[in-house]
Structure 1
Amino acid sequence: MTFAETQRSRSEDRRISPVFWVLLATLGTAGWAVATGYGSARFGIFLFVVSGWVVSLCLHEYAHARTALHGGDISVGAKGYLTLNPFKYTHALLSFVLPVIFVILGGIGLPGGAVYIERHRIQGRVKHSLISAAGPLVNLLCAAALLIPIGAGWLDDPSVFVELDGRQLSVSPLAAAFGFLGLLQISAALLNLLPVPGLDGYGIVEPWLSLKTRRAVEPFAPYGLLAVFILLWQSEVNRWFFDLVYSVMELFGANPALSQLGGYLFRFWEN
């Protein structure tokens, strides 16, 4: 292979996928419709949140892959991880289908696992930890981008308001959509930072554990996400977790009530 062919191949490996552009177009169109009051606000919020959630999942996995690339794993490009194409990831079901279903059913930003990093190519414990931390950091950045405008009042528009049970609320439907999607980002970041096998939080601390400890924990890795999901169905744990999520939202200056309203409007099929 010539140098020019090698450069072209690398360029194609990192070219943003049309699938991701479609997701961004859906997100932008839904956001415009909600902001201007065009069509059904509730269905618009549903499309905005689902497309925005999938976009953030793509960015989450891209962050893992990009950090791995700089850490020494040059195989991530050939695997398509740098194209932001959700169909290129190793576990599309775990990484995209199930998280979307969890959002629809319970309004929880449950993380998934997708990119396969060839860890033997990466030298140094710090690099391994940074690769795992990159994904949750993206979720926190997305949360900031969504919640800071709410707290600053940039989304307030008295001409477009939420109608609820025949009443007009002095709340912008776009602010409610931003609030709910921001809640999902925070919940995903917090859950992913748990030091549970199979989640990024464990990936951060794993390089610092002894080989004996890692081997003892390894068989439980496939069940970590399931265990977290089961715990969240317990009322006390669920209440404690969402109290923490709401507290983080308030740090960004956003009113947690907006996320609750956004979640209610998101589930347009219930009422």
Structure 2
Amino acid sequence: MLVVCITIHEFSHAFIALKLGDPTAKASGRVTLNPLAHLDPVGTLLLALVGFGWGKPVPFNLNFLRSPKRDAALISLAGPASNFLFAVVFGLIHKVFGLGFIGNILESLVYFNLILCFFNLIPVHPLDGFKVVWGFLPPDLSEQWLDLAPYGLWILLLLIFANVTDYFVSLPVGFLVKLLL
């Protein structure tokens, strides 16, 4: 099920990039709902082994965008926004048809989409939240923000091991799961 959520997420990045004028994702075969186009080999292997993984990042080129910083933020926001939207849709369907096996699948889809949404909004590179914040910073701060990118993975690991990510993910996910289901 997580493969479906990752596919929705990555497709949304590609679709919005194309709509904003960047053909890079289309040229890479990423404007598709075919999961094979969006699965990263290492991320998929880890997903199968430990239940945590990632999709292949969607490429985009700032040079094709009319308003590069703003559009990069919108492209980056598209993935988490699509996961949030699908969580709401699956939650509404669950309210109507949420019994038995179908209900369990819908609950999982709500949960996984919300986790992807909020985890990816953490403002640390390589997550989407990093580019969302960058897109709205004034020029003097945006360069300093980009200087943090090489340390992003280490910062993210530190946040995960220190359980700080719980504040960004578990709290809003828990609240919304109760609301939607």
Task: Give the TM-score, by structure 2 length.
Answer: 0.79
Divergent runs of 4+, >6 A:
none
2:112 corresponding residue in structure 1:
184
Q: Structure 1 residue 118 and structure 2 residue 61: aligned?
A: yes
Following the alignment from structure 2 to structure 1, what is the Cα–Cα distance between the partners of residues 177 and 143? Answer: 37
Shift of residue 121, structure 1, vs aligned partner: 0.8
1:208 equivalent among 102, 113, 136 = 136
Shift of residue 229, structure 1, vs aligned partner: 4.5
Following the alignment from structure 1 to structure 2, what is the Cα–Cα distance between the partners of residues 97 and 86? Answer: 14
Within a 5 Å distance, the mapping from 1:37-76 to structure 2 comes to 52-76=1-25
Following the alignment from structure 1 to structure 2, what is the Cα–Cα distance between the partners of residues 175 and 232? Answer: 30
How much is the aligned-residue C-alpha RMSD, in angstroms?
3.0
Within a 5 Å distance, the mapping from 1:243-258 to structure 2 comes to 243-252=171-180, 254=181
Q: Say if 1:72 and 1:122, in contact at 8 Å, map to a contact too.
A: yes
1:138-196 deviation per Cα after TM superposition (whole angstroms, max 9, x unaligned)? 1112212322233x25222xxxxxxxxxxxxxxx2432332233211101101112222
Within a 5 Å distance, the mapping from 1:132-147 to structure 2 comes to 132-147=76-91
Task: Give the TM-score, by structure 1 length.
Answer: 0.56
Check 1:235–1:79 CA distance in 2 against 1; reply closer, same or farther (3 A cut).
Answer: closer
Following the alignment from structure 2 to structure 1, what is the Cα–Cα distance between the partners of residues 25 and 168? Answer: 38
1:92 corresponding residue in structure 2:
40
Counting aligned pairs with the same residue, the percent is 26
Unpaired runs of 5+ in structure 2?
none
Unpaired runs of 5+ in structure 1?
1-51, 157-171, 255-271
Q: Say if 1:94 and 1:113, in contact at 8 Å, map to a contact too.
A: no
Shift of residue 247, structure 1, vs aligned partner: 0.3
Q: Say if 1:198 and 1:221, in contact at 8 Å, map to a contact too.
A: yes
1:35-83 deviation per Cα after TM superposition (whole angstroms, max 9, x unaligned)? xxxxxxxxxxxxxxxxx21122122111111111111112322211113
Pick the structure with greater CA Rg.
1
Following the alignment from structure 2 to structure 1, what is the Cα–Cα distance between the partners of residues 122 and 70? Answer: 18
Q: Say if 1:197 and 1:217, in contact at 8 Å, map to a contact too.
A: no
Shift of residue 230, structure 1, vs aligned partner: 4.2
* Alignment coverage as a number of residue pairs: 180
Which amino acid is 2:22 matched to? D
Following the alignment from structure 1 to structure 2, what is the Cα–Cα distance between the partners of residues 208 and 141? Answer: 23
Which amino acid is 1:138 matched to? S
Within a 5 Å distance, the mapping from 1:123-202 to structure 2 comes to 123-124=66-67, 125-150=69-94, 152-156=95-99, 172-202=100-130
Following the alignment from structure 1 to structure 2, what is the Cα–Cα distance between the partners of residues 185 and 218? Answer: 28
